[in-house]
Structure 1
Amino acid sequence: MPSSEQEPLYWTADLDPIESDVVAPGEAFDAVVVGAGYGGLSAALELSRQGMKVLVVEAHRIGDGASSRAAGSLANVPKARLHELARSYGSEKADSVYREAVLARALTERIIADHSIDCDLRRCTRVMAAHSEKSMQRLRSEFPAMKARIPEACLLSAEELRAFIGSGIYRGGMLVPDSATLNPAAYQFGLARAARAQGVCIMQNTRMIGLKCVADGVEVELHPQGKVSAVNVVLATNAETAPDTPLSAQLSKSIAAVPAFCVVTEKLPPERIARVIKGAQIFGDTRKVLNYMALSPCGTRLVYSARAGFLEGSTADKARRIIAAFARRFPATRGVTMDFFWSGRFAITADLIPHTGASDRVHWMIGCCGTGITMSTYLGHKIARRILGADDAETVFRLPLPPMPGWRRRPAFLGAAIRLYRVYDRYMN
């Protein structure tokens, strides 16, 4: 186990850092992209491919933020339940959300292939396990709509589920044979290198502190470099969105930055892994306090991700709680130790789907709700297509961004909400 919480992430341990470019004060660009996560780099890559001069600014270093702290699942299902979306937006828009989530994963895999990004992309089988009879009933009711979007999906009884995972506590589940995982940091670094190969300038440790619309575009104030100008600006800061400008302040009030934690186990022998991961390499369950497990790209470790409280001890304490929780559900993991652990954040919106929009020449995307690898990539690409005036720029995610209640944005209340979710999962769901 690392002796310090500052140890390198598992995902970035073997990656060479991305170097920063130098930009002259007052330099002009076709687009300035704020944020070097999946969304910002996806937008920059597409804009530069079409001949635009693009600058990406990142407040920290690539690899330090949320993108490289993800668990690595390529989601093709949104976090929002289909019936909840239909109640809020109608069945047609709800169906479109699910349809575009499938397209988002397809686009992500196409970008990886087109730019030969070496990120351990692996197609594999996923199960979603129902932790209660109520949650199994909900899976059954939503399954027809899921089947329409993912034809290979099927429902599993409790007995059938045990052929895929080494746990007997679940009431059944859903199988999605065509799922995928990757190394999220290798993907982010690969996007950055692909963008740079197309001529994109990347400045790290650079913060956007001001935007001012002028006659022919936007004046962008950067710290510590000074001002540059752009015809268009893309805000792709997601969970790191701060009140640096009136627009970013408005966006920051529409999300909650939710803590998440990842653990990577020690190396395990194949026979032990086979008792945990049977026919499915990715596991998730229906608890609101998320539980996720996957086989690492090297095939010798398990990757866990969960929400383990907010103000309850150090990251190491929370990692130990995650290990203990999985040991209770998967007997073959009892006694397993961890070699890596870290914390991260992801942004959620009030309706649990991402949103994108524009204000004058400033385009934004926010709130990928734990599906950031695919949805951020997709929405960054859509923003670029919108800037380019392309016919395929439209997306259902240009829905009005609903307000987030103030109490949900406060860290102290987030911790309380997670504890309430634990009670809900145990007694009411």
Structure 2
Amino acid sequence: MTSDHADNLWRQSHRADTDVPALSGDIQTDLLVIGGGFTGCSAALEAAQSGADVILLEARTIGHGGSGRNVGLVNAGLWLPPDEITKKIGQTAGMRLIDALAVGPDLVFRLVQEHGIDCDATRNGTLHLAHSASGLRSLQSRFRQGNRTGAPLQLLDAEETVRRTGSRAFHGALFDPRAGTVQPLAYCRGLAQAARDAGAKLFENSGVEAIAHDGALWTAQVHGHRVRAKHLILATNAYADGISGAPTREFVPVHFSQFATAPLTQEQLRDILPGGEGCWDTDLVMSSLRIDREGRLIIGGVGNVAGLGAAIHRKWADRKLAQFYPELAGTPFRHAWSGAIAMTSDHLPKVLSFGPNALSIFGYSGRGIGPGTVFGKRAARALLFGEDSGLPVQISERYSEGLKAPRAAYYELGAVMSHAIRPILKKS
């Protein structure tokens, strides 16, 4: 999404410091981080705390991209179930990735506590909701797989799911007590502030136009200024903006939109997600569900509410609200916004080496908060201290995606058609 943030709830409700200057002169550093999202801010914080000189450049504002448009679910892993991960990359590499991301929520909530980040952090778990009988069978399989890898998952029946959600729309749920929710933009900006407090130098509205390595150092060109660095992390993910000399965008951008009501009354909220869990469902065209600190109900779904299908996605959100909570039918949404996800064909994140002491990190496929925090921290240590084995995935020299534009159009068309013509089935 490239539009303004006028209707983005997270932009309106965060309370983080926004006083970040633009780059105004030439400078040299140990580590240059390009991109001020979860990954970049986590990398800058780790590097600064480790004693390195760090500069972070953000083309817009901290959290402008997916980190400021995220649902806010702090998940302990990827969208793929464990068996799919090990099938794709092997048992050893798969367990390395699974184990690294299993502790992602531990890292996120520890950083929130250590740095006093005001981001509505709630660690009451998440619920993966079965939208159908087949969805419940999928959750039963995920439950067995997760437990085999040590995940403390709990499979909930339909009635327990009603108690947890306040909705009779679901056939059951998979509860992950390791996970939780945050206000994602506030968390991202809190990471940035922690990095500044540790000594990192952050610059907003400082888009990098070109990067190059001269045999000794990297040079980034920024509006007539130069940043020279020994090490470089490219952490723009789905919001890479055509930097000359950088790797090409090897992912498919997929949009996800969210719709938030005004704060609901205590009476309305009495039975809706009383435990404060964040949720998403098993539908192919996925939906999400959560409550924020002020009691707003937030429903999300695949599709771009800032695109040509905006009216269709908005009407879908109205119907989805009525399906989940019939007593709230007709309640207007006061906020609607969209963000882009960097989707890879295998739904696995990538770490690419594209030059001396340079890494590009992308492809969380919709799981940015925990994985982005983990990958950023470990990428900084890999570059500064040679700890490549600490990365959740092996570093690759190259990666490519075919038919990116047609596939992006296909995903959006599929979401529009599903939201326009597919009936919302009631649970029998």
TM-score by length of 2: 0.88
1:200 aligns with 2:200: yes
Write the mapping of 1:222-261 to structure 2, written as runs, cut at 5 A. 222=222, 224-249=223-248, 252=249, 254-261=250-257
Aligned residue for 1:413? Answer: 410
Taking the aligned partners of 2:185 and 2:279, their CA distance within structure 1 comes to 21
Specify which of 263, 270, 273 is matched with residue 274 of structure 1: 270
Instruction: After TM superposition, give the deviation of residue 65 of structure 1 in Å.
Output: 2.5
Letter of the structure 2 residue corresponding to residue 62 of structure 1: I
Aligned residue for 1:181? Answer: 181
Letter of the structure 2 residue corresponding to residue 378 of structure 1: V
Letter of the structure 2 residue corresponding to residue 416 of structure 1: L
2:211, 2:221 within 8 Å by CA — same for their partners in 1?
Answer: yes
Write the mapping of 1:121-140 to structure 2, written as runs, cut at 5 A. 121-140=121-140
SS at match of 2:390: coil
Instruction: After TM superposition, give the deviation of residue 188 of structure 1 in Å.
Output: 1.4
Specify which of 353, 360, 365 is matched with residue 361 of structure 2: 365
Aligned residue for 1:265? Answer: 261
Aligned residue for 2:57? Answer: 57
Instruction: After TM superposition, give the deviation of residue 399 of structure 1 in Å.
Output: 5.7
Aligned residue for 2:6? Answer: 7
Specify which of 295, 315, 321 is matched with residue 326 of structure 1: 321
Provide the alpha-carbon RMSD of the alignment.
2.8
Write the mapping of 1:273-312 to structure 2, written as runs, cut at 5 A. 273-279=269-275, 281-298=277-294, 300-308=295-303
How many residues get paired?
A: 419
Letter of the structure 1 residue corresponding to residue 335 of structure 2: F
Q: Deviations over 1:60-116 (max 9, x none)?
A: 122432211112111113112333223222233333332222122211222222222
Taking the aligned partners of 2:76 and 2:228, their CA distance within structure 1 comes to 37
Relative to structure 1, the CA distance from residue 87 to residue 418 in structure 2 (aligned partners, 3 Å threshold; closer, same or farther) is farther
1:26, 1:228 within 8 Å by CA — same for their partners in 2?
Answer: yes
Aligned residue for 1:347? Answer: 342
Taking the aligned partners of 1:31 and 1:259, their CA distance within structure 2 comes to 31
Write the mapping of 1:54-93 to structure 2, written as runs, cut at 5 A. 54-93=54-93
1:351, 1:402 within 8 Å by CA — same for their partners in 2?
Answer: no
2:69, 2:184 within 8 Å by CA — same for their partners in 1?
Answer: yes
1:208, 1:220 within 8 Å by CA — same for their partners in 2?
Answer: yes
Aligned residue for 1:335? Answer: 330
Relative to structure 1, the CA distance from residue 63 to residue 177 in structure 2 (aligned partners, 3 Å threshold; closer, same or farther) is closer
Taking the aligned partners of 2:197 and 2:79, their CA distance within structure 1 comes to 34
Relative to structure 1, the CA distance from residue 346 to residue 91 in structure 2 (aligned partners, 3 Å threshold; closer, same or farther) is same
Instruction: After TM superposition, give the deviation of residue 378 of structure 1 in Å.
Output: 0.9
SS at match of 1:164: helix
Instruction: After TM superposition, give the deviation of residue 381 of structure 1 in Å.
Output: 0.5
Q: Deviations over 1:177-206 (max 9, x none)?
A: 343111111111111111111222222111
Instruction: After TM superposition, give the deviation of residue 413 of structure 1 in Å.
Output: 2.7
1:289, 1:425 within 8 Å by CA — same for their partners in 2?
Answer: no
Q: Point out the more displaced range, 50-59 or 230-239.
A: 50-59
Specify which of 364, 378, 384 is matched with residue 382 of structure 1: 378
Instruction: After TM superposition, give the deviation of residue 410 of structure 1 in Å.
Output: 5.3
SS at match of 2:228: strand
Q: Point out the more displaced range, 39-48 or 279-288.
A: 279-288
Aligned residue for 1:403? Answer: 400
Relative to structure 1, the CA distance from residue 421 to residue 281 in structure 2 (aligned partners, 3 Å threshold; closer, same or farther) is same
Taking the aligned partners of 2:82 and 2:161, their CA distance within structure 1 comes to 23
Taking the aligned partners of 1:340 and 1:375, their CA distance within structure 2 comes to 27
Taking the aligned partners of 2:313 and 2:4, their CA distance within structure 1 comes to 12
Q: Point out the more displaced range, 256-265 or 60-69.
A: 60-69
1:368, 1:376 within 8 Å by CA — same for their partners in 2?
Answer: yes
1:214 aligns with 2:211: no
Instruction: After TM superposition, give the deviation of residue 291 of structure 1 in Å.
Output: 0.9
Taking the aligned partners of 2:224 and 2:15, their CA distance within structure 1 comes to 27
Relative to structure 1, the CA distance from residue 232 to residue 371 in structure 2 (aligned partners, 3 Å threshold; closer, same or farther) is same
Instruction: After TM superposition, give the deviation of residue 324 of structure 1 in Å.
Output: 2.1
Letter of the structure 1 residue corresponding to residue 369 of structure 2: I
Aligned residue for 2:170? Answer: 170
Letter of the structure 1 residue corresponding to residue 330 of structure 2: G
TM-score by length of 1: 0.88
Q: Point out the more displaced range, 129-138 or 410-419.
A: 410-419
1:262, 1:303 within 8 Å by CA — same for their partners in 2?
Answer: yes
Give 5+ residue unaligned stretches, structure 2: none
Taking the aligned partners of 2:352 and 2:423, their CA distance within structure 1 comes to 34
Taking the aligned partners of 1:391 and 1:200, their CA distance within structure 2 comes to 21
2:129, 2:173 within 8 Å by CA — same for their partners in 1?
Answer: yes
Instruction: After TM superposition, give the deviation of residue 320 of structure 1 in Å.
Output: 4.1
Instruction: After TM superposition, give the deviation of residue 34 of structure 1 in Å.
Output: 0.5
Relative to structure 1, the CA distance from residue 357 to residue 394 in structure 2 (aligned partners, 3 Å threshold; closer, same or farther) is farther
Taking the aligned partners of 1:125 and 1:241, their CA distance within structure 2 comes to 32
1:288, 1:425 within 8 Å by CA — same for their partners in 2?
Answer: no
Moved segments of 4+, more than 6 Å: 420-427
1:153, 1:174 within 8 Å by CA — same for their partners in 2?
Answer: yes
Instruction: After TM superposition, give the deviation of residue 217 of structure 1 in Å.
Output: 1.5
Relative to structure 1, the CA distance from residue 267 to residue 248 in structure 2 (aligned partners, 3 Å threshold; closer, same or farther) is same
Letter of the structure 2 residue corresponding to residue 27 of structure 1: I
Taking the aligned partners of 2:328 and 2:399, their CA distance within structure 1 comes to 41
Relative to structure 1, the CA distance from residue 24 to residue 174 in structure 2 (aligned partners, 3 Å threshold; closer, same or farther) is closer
Taking the aligned partners of 2:18 and 2:253, their CA distance within structure 1 comes to 26
Instruction: After TM superposition, give the deviation of residue 420 of structure 1 in Å.
Output: 6.9
Instruction: After TM superposition, give the deviation of residue 312 of structure 1 in Å.
Output: 6.2
Relative to structure 1, the CA distance from residue 18 to residue 160 in structure 2 (aligned partners, 3 Å threshold; closer, same or farther) is closer
Aligned residue for 1:97? Answer: 97
Letter of the structure 1 residue corresponding to residue 85 of structure 2: L
2:260, 2:334 within 8 Å by CA — same for their partners in 1?
Answer: yes
1:267, 1:301 within 8 Å by CA — same for their partners in 2?
Answer: yes
Q: Deviations over 1:393-425 (max 9, x none)?
A: 522322646532214565433322435777999
